[in-house]
Amino acid sequence: MRFKLKSSYIDDKDNLAIYYVVIPCVVLSLLIHPITWHHPLNRILWAFCVYLEAVSVLPQLQVMQNTKIVEPFTAHYVFFSGSCKFLELCTLGPPGLSKFELL
């Protein structure tokens, strides 16, 4: 982002440390990534992007929980966006597990 919307951004409510989101995604992508003909680094980076996208809604949920002021439209958007990302991650689950490499 080029600039922050200072009128709507509350700095003290945005207190989720980014490493709580990024580090588990890195570890998970190193352990579980797809088996394709691509270079292993590409497979690991792709898995990292998928996992990070699936949990990218967590900072938004943290801010919404801390402020305790949520517009209904915003709450619905975040809920359905998070649900969609979770379901995308589920499509990579047990039926496709044979296509994934553990370690």
Distance CA 47, CA 68 (A): 33
Kindly list the domain boundaries of the chain, sorted by start residue: 13-102
pLDDT digits (tens, 9 = 90+) for 6-58: 777 777 777 888 888 899 999 998 988 777 788 889 888 988 988 888 788 78
The pTM of the full predicted model, rounded to 2 decimals, is 0.66
Strand, helix or coil for residue 32: strand
pLDDT digits (tens, 9 = 90+) for 49-70: 888 887 887 888 888 888 887 7
Question: What Å distances lie between residue 46 and 12, 43, 80, 98, CA to CA?
Answer: 33, 5, 23, 17
Q: 8-12, 24-28, 81-85, 89-93: which has the minimum mean pLDDT?
A: 89-93
